[in-house]
Amino acid sequence: MTAMDDSTGTDFAGTDFAGTDFAGVDFWARMERRGPAEVVVDGRPVREGSRVRLRPSRVGSQADIMDLVLDGRVAVVESIEQDEEGVFHFAVTLDDDPGRDLGEARLPGHRFFYSAEEIEPVGARDEAERVARVLVAGVGNIFLGDDGFGVEVVRRLAESGQAAGAGAHVDVVDFGIRGMDLAYALQRDYDLVILVDAAARGQAPGTITVLEPDLPGSDHGGTPGNAPGGMLGGVPVEGHGMDPVRVLRLAAELGRVPERVVVVCCEPAAVLTGGPDEDVLVELSEPVRAAVGPAVRLVMDMIAESAGPGSRPENAG
């Protein structure tokens, strides 16, 4: 079968696996390099995040079960690799696979490789019919009072079930203070990411503000493997920290950031730092609690806008 998952090895002819190929270039160093950012297939550019239709080269009696199952399915390009002979291999995950996150984590069975001859870039008509993908991410520390605003908003949104009928594929996730997890989630092909957080901006407590940050780019020219310990391209890696700006920078260093990211933030009544002299506070202040409902409605409006006209549920709010 031509489609291979990551458990399948590759035979690199003419390579000395002791560490150096016949050209004198360190083999493992070459394998650690990223593939090209973009490859033209059938006259159209294909890059990470592009949607393609799978067309396994073996058909009819020559096809095995995976060829038959995957033929014609739409997939998302997760990375582009190039072997020693210059052949491009596209690592893809299925667009409708509920276990896509396992493929993004490079686990076998959810991630496949195809050549350029076995993929078709998805056309404009297919893209127009595609359902928008939205991530609503609640961030904050529930033990620091009003800092738990984002967590409460996504909890209420998830419990209401409103997002399920919004006309888009919506993931509502409480990330809390798991900044690294959010950075990896941003690698997926979301059309819109809504971060919900508390932020002190000098306004009246409970004031809701919508920000569209300038999305960061990776201009250091390195790769994750080149960063010093505890760093990723100059961005400190914190497994349990949640600064949205830092998370966006980290996501860019990992590879990509969705095209549109908005931050729905609420002015806290009190700002706690988690210092040793502070008490744990697990409740929102009155003005911030009162802002949760309007924030939920605002998020639903954004989801409906991304899904298209007429998609807003009647019971939203």
How confident is the model over 64-99, as pLDDT tens digits?
677 777 888 888 888 888 887 788 889 888 877 766
pLDDT tens digits for range 266-298: 999 987 766 666 666 778 999 999 999 999 999
Report the range of poorest mean pLDDT among 75-84, 223-232, 306-315. 223-232
Q: Which of 191, 194, 35, 172 is nearest to 116 (CA)?
A: 35
d(CA 199, CA 134): 22
Mean pLDDT of 171-184: 88
Question: Given pLDDT bands bounded at 50, 70 and 90, which one contains residue 149?
Answer: very high
- In angstroms, the CA 94 to CA 103 distance is 9
Contact 272, 149 (CB under 8 A): no
Indicate the pLDDT class of residue 230, thresholds 50, 70 and 90: very low
- Give the pTM: 0.58
85-94, 145-154, 170-179, 217-226 — which one is most confidently predicted on average? Answer: 145-154
